[in-house]
Structure 1
Amino acid sequence: RDYSDSIPKPMIPLGHQPILRHVMQWYSDYGHDEFVLCLGYKANVIKDFFLNTRPQTFSDCVVTQGGQDVKLLGDTVKDWSITLLDTGIWRNIGERLWAAKDHVRNEKMFLANYSDGLTNVDLDDVIAKFEASDKIGCFLAVRAPLTYHLADIAEDGRVREFRTTETSEIWINGGYFVFRPEIFDYMRDGEELVVEPFKRLIDDNMLMAYKHEGFWRSMDTLRDWQSLEDMVEKGDMPWNRRVTAEKIRRSMVMAAS
């Protein structure tokens, strides 16, 4: 399915909820319930979702009196604070983060995310290691999800080594970040976050990476979406700390009966 013309990428559904909400629930499971959403393309779609979607849509509930009375079981979103910030359509990641600076600049540190990928990394450990450092920025480093073979070639064309990406030391940006407010001192108007600002951080030895060998998946292609959708349908969701695979399977059997 191609959703690109009708909804923004973070609103592409996985199961019965958009990937954005999967990401937000993951943060909430670690106790982080204040969100600033930097909206761009089709901002109205995201606003409509959070303004008009009923809580029982994503919560276990008991329905009585023909649906007139609904009791939520373990409602996980009632304490969420969500700031919907329209940052414009033609903005890059750095510009969107800059637009949100007044909402986070008084925090000791804050978390940031591309909102199009899922992981099972231990967020508490990421934060603890960053907090123990003197760094200003930290990003999640993950293995490149590629099946290419890499060739090390000398200037004369001689092949020195041929190896797979799995055995290489190639790490990529996983789209999960932790920052101190000083990050804004390294940013300039119009710059992409991970280009010029990150170079300045590197020059000052103020950027660190948290290497994660576990589950990580970005939803960049139709194949990525199909893979994640299959995982949701099977109840195999490594990023979900609350719902076990067995519970999901039982729910699916009930729905089919």
Structure 2
Amino acid sequence: MKVVIFAGGYGTRLSEETGTLPKPLVEIGDMPMLWHIMKIYSAHGLNDFIICCGYKGHLIKKYFLDFFHRSNDLTLDLQNNTVEVRRVATEPWKVTLADTGLETMTGGRLKRVRDYIGDETFCLTYGDGVTDLNITDTIRYHKEQGKLATVTAVQQPGRFGALDLSPDKTRIKGFREKSMSDGHLINGGYFVCEPAVIDYVIDDTTVWEEEPLKGLVADDELAVYHYPGFWQNMDTLRDKHVLQKMWDSGKAPWKVWDRPDGAQAAVNG
């Protein structure tokens, strides 16, 4: 199963870092946020990634082109122009790096990678949020619901759009602005989708969170997976500091790949 990651935005709320880097390359614990997200999926057996690049996308491409050499010890014989890898450590990842345009909106980015996705169920997320969500369970739930898409609903105070749920809490009725005082759930950004969701995207100007999600709601094709556990995005410098503090404590909740009991294998198909 493939994992699509939106990684092309400007990251303007994190301008202290994104003036020189795309937000997915901003580091937590000396590793890019993008690496953390991919490690979460990989812990559940998902290792085929499609990265939707845009702003400073060449730096994301360079990161992965240099990944093998960066991850290993090397001996360079400058006289003979040879390189010997002394310690082989890498990831089991296949990574497609797609230039989806500088000004393309999220929905447009998804449409541009349609050919890479193919005809199978895929996961979709943003390049700025981490969680200890059981990805395997979300995939299983999505298949049980039989809808075109499933969104993970999480609780988070602040400035995020809230989800209005159906009485039985298995469908989304609509979206609205969230206030600091309410306790409603928000879009946690971890989706499981069928390729047909891309039919809801009109063109490059389409925002995934607008016409496509609202269209799926109108057609009763958007299921919701409730997750009460850890979720945190990196939208501002304060968010980065919060995540860095968690990582420095040695108990980062999203570090599911390093748990003694391990993560479950992903659902096949």
- Shorter-normalised TM range: 0.7 to 0.9
Runs of 5+ in structure 1 lacking a partner? Answer: 148-163, 246-257
Task: Output the amino acid matched with 1:36.
Answer: I
Q: 1:103 to 1:199 in 2, by over 3 A?
A: same
Which of 162, 182, 185 is 2:196 aligned to? 182
Q: Give, in whole Å, the separation in 2 of the partners of 1:187 and 1:231.
A: 37
**Counterpart selection for 2:110 from 89, 97, 116:** 97
Q: Distance in 2 between matches of 1:83 and 1:23?
A: 15
User: How far is 1:76 from its partner?
Assistant: 5.2
Measure how far apart 1:187 and its partner are. 1.9
**1:70 matched residue in structure 2:** 86
Once residues 247 and 103 of structure 2 are traced to their aligned partners in structure 1, the CA distance between those partners, rounded to angstroms, is 32
Q: Secondary structure at the match of 1:3?
A: helix
Q: Structure 1's 39 and 56: CA in aligned 2 closer, same or farther, altered over 3 A?
A: closer
The aligned counterpart of 2:25 is: 11
2:233 is aligned, of 205, 218, 232, to 218
The one-letter code sitting in structure 2 at the alignment partner of 1:188 is I
Letter in 2 for 1:42: K
SS in 2 for 1:139: strand
**In structure 2, C-alpha distance between the alignment counterparts of 1:142 and 1:244, rounded to whole Å:** 22
Counterpart check, 1:119 vs 2:134: no
Q: Which has the higher contact order (CA 8 A, sep 6+)?
A: 2
For 1:136 and 1:244, the matched residues in 2 are separated by 32
Question: What is the CA–CA distance in structure 2 between the aligned matches of 1:55 and 1:173, rounded to whole Å?
Answer: 37
Tell whether the 8 Å contact from 2:157 to 2:183 is kept in structure 1 after alignment.
no
Partner of 1:202: 217
Q: Cα 1:187–1:68, aligned 2, differ >3 Å: closer, same or farther?
A: closer
CA distance, structure 2, for counterparts of residue 137 and residue 104 of structure 1: 15
Provide the residue aligned with 1:46 in structure 2: 60
Aligned length, in residue pairs: 221
Distance in structure 2 (CA, Å) of the matches to 1:76 and 1:214: 29
Retained in 1: the 8 A contact 2:40–2:257? no
Seq. identity, %: 35
Q: Structure 2 CA distance, aligned partners of 1:214 and 1:184?
A: 29
Q: Hey, what does 1:22 align to over in structure 2?
A: 36
Shift of 1:236: 1.4
Structure 2 alignment gaps of length 5 or more: 1-14, 76-82, 160-178, 261-269
Q: Is the partner of 2:58 in helix, strand or coil?
A: helix
State the Cα distance separating 1:18 from its structure 2 match: 0.3
1:144–1:165 contact (8 Å) kept in structure 2: no
The answer to whether the Cα contact below 8 Å between 1:140 and 1:177 also exists between their aligned partners in 2 is yes
Alpha-carbon contact 1:141-1:210 (below 8 Å) kept: yes
Please tell me whether the aligned partners of residues 130 and 138 of structure 1 are also in contact (alpha carbons under 8 angstroms): yes
How far is the alpha carbon of 1:144 from its aligned partner? 2.1
User: Is contact 2:68–2:90 with CA below 8 Å preserved after alignment?
Assistant: no
Q: Deviations over 1:32-67 (max 9, x none)?
A: 11011010000111011000133563x7x8x99xx9
Q: Is the 2:49–2:93 Cα contact (8 Å) retained in structure 1?
A: yes
1:87 counterpart residue number? 100
**Equivalent residue, structure 2, for 1:135:** 147
Q: Which has the higher helix share?
A: 1
Equivalent residue letter for 1:243: D
Give distance in 1, aligned partners of 2:136 and 2:258.
Answer: 19
- Code of the aligned partner of 2:118: R
TM-score scaled by length of structure 2: 0.75
Match of 2:207 among 166, 170, 192: 192
User: Equivalent residue of 2:186, what SS?
Assistant: strand
